[in-house]
Amino acid sequence: MDRYKSCIIVSRHEILPVQEKDVSDICDKITKVAELPLDQQKLRELIEPYDAVIGVFPVNLQIEILNNKKNLITFIMRSLGVTDNEEEANRIASRYPGMSAVLAPSKPNEKFRVVLYEGIKLIREIRIIDEWLVKH
């Protein structure tokens, strides 16, 4: 398994103790931030000192991180469901103690999301193969 000198974890949510342990098993020094800047230059400046960027990212941001020659490590999170009821969300999460999390709504009309942590993966390459469906 690869070992990294300096990693940045990106998460708006508190990470689980098991995630913290897994990251500390592969990273010597860990810095946490809530989000990455959208501006490409600011993103480049923020991640420049780190060997690896860790989190859950949309594909376009994953590509940007890889384009900046950084190791991209993702938390693999499986959805266990969504609900309007916090008690129901906690009941679902309780089936997987220490491995699941309830993500509270961050915007109006959002629901509670329950996710299961399955591990971490190193993303080595992203390939997009496209074809025209309609061309003008």
Q: In this structure, are residues 13 and 35 in contact, taking their beta carbons and an 8 Å threshold?
A: no
Assigned domain for 30 exists: yes
Assigned domain for 71 exists: yes
What pLDDT, in 10s, does the model give residues 26-68?
Answer: 999 999 999 999 899 999 999 999 999 999 999 999 999 999 9
Q: In this structure, are residues 103 and 113 in contact, taking their beta carbons and an 8 Å threshold?
A: yes
Q: How confident is the model at residue 13 (pLDDT cuts 50, 70, 90)?
A: confident
What is the reported pLDDT for 19? 97
Say which CATH number the domain at 25 has.
3.40.50
**Residue ranges of the alpha helices (H) in the chain?**
17-26, 40-47, 59-67, 86-93
What is the reported pLDDT for 125? 94
What pLDDT, in 10s, does the model give residues 75-126?
Answer: 999 999 999 999 999 999 999 999 999 999 988 899 999 999 999 999 999 9
Assigned domain for 134 exists: no
0.85 exceeded by pTM:
yes
Confidence check: pLDDT of 1 > 80: no
Assigned domain for 115 exists: yes
Q: How confident is the model at residue 12 (pLDDT cuts 50, 70, 90)?
A: confident
What is the reported pLDDT for 2? 79
The tally of domains found in the chain comes to 1
Domain encompassing residue 13:
4-123
Residue type at position 32: K
Q: In this structure, are residues 79 and 118 in contact, taking their beta carbons and an 8 Å threshold?
A: no
